[in-house]
Amino acid sequence: MPTREENSQKERNKALIRSFIKEVLKEHNLLAIEKYFTKDFIEGVLHHAEKEGEGFKQFLTEFFEAFPDMRTTIEHIVAENNLVTVFLSGSGTHKGAFKGVPPTNKEVNIRSADLYRIGNGVITGHWEMVDQVNLLKQTGSLLSESTGEESKDARVVWIRGYK
């Protein structure tokens, strides 16, 4: 059975992630990223890690420019030891170019599962799985190569580097 201290630490870890989500993902305050992450945090998401530590901030900058009204909601949050898993849903309007796709002004919905590792009160690692193909489908940018029709059943997730 977990001790009171272990339960207290899990609650502090969840509070840290809730605060990060509120300030960065809900309020779009990208300057706050530095107070939540260590300088040498492990970014296990391929398209974020490619930019040598600035990838996550760069990705969010591009994402919020493309979806300036993105609203993020926590569906579930669970903590165990120094790990916090959070399931998020988001919705917004595609008003700017994103990954080469011009704005469509379509409303989109996106879901993710994110895993954060916490150490000394800050985030030391981040991994996520996102249904990105569904996002592309919603903007009308994902077409079947053979027919030119919108793909109806594609799903994808990415995860890299978690040990």
Domain boundaries, the chain: 4-138
Q: Looking at residue 96, what is its pLDDT?
A: 94
Q: Would the pTM of this model clear 0.95, i.e. be above it?
A: no
Q: What is the pLDDT of residues 119-160, one digit of tens each?
A: 999 999 888 888 877 887 888 766 544 444 444 433 333 333
Q: Looking at residue 148, what is its pLDDT?
A: 44
Q: Looking at residue 86, what is its pLDDT?
A: 97
User: Residue 56 and residue 113: Cα distance in Å, rounded?
Assistant: 15
Whether 5 has a pLDDT exceeding 90, the answer reads no
Compute the Cα dihedral for 97, 100, 105, 108 and give only its sign: negative
Whether 87 has a pLDDT exceeding 60, the answer reads yes
100: left (phi over 0), alpha (psi -120 to 50) or beta: left
CA distances from 124 to 19, 39, 56, 58 (A): 16, 9, 13, 18
Q: Which of the residue ranges 51-55, 78-82, 92-96 would you say has the lowest mean pLDDT?
A: 51-55
Helix/strand/coil for 37 = strand
Architecture of domain 4-138: Roll (3.10)
Q: What is the pLDDT of residues 11-51, one digit of tens each?
A: 999 999 999 999 999 999 999 988 998 877 776 655 554 44
| Averaged pLDDT, 53-74 | 88
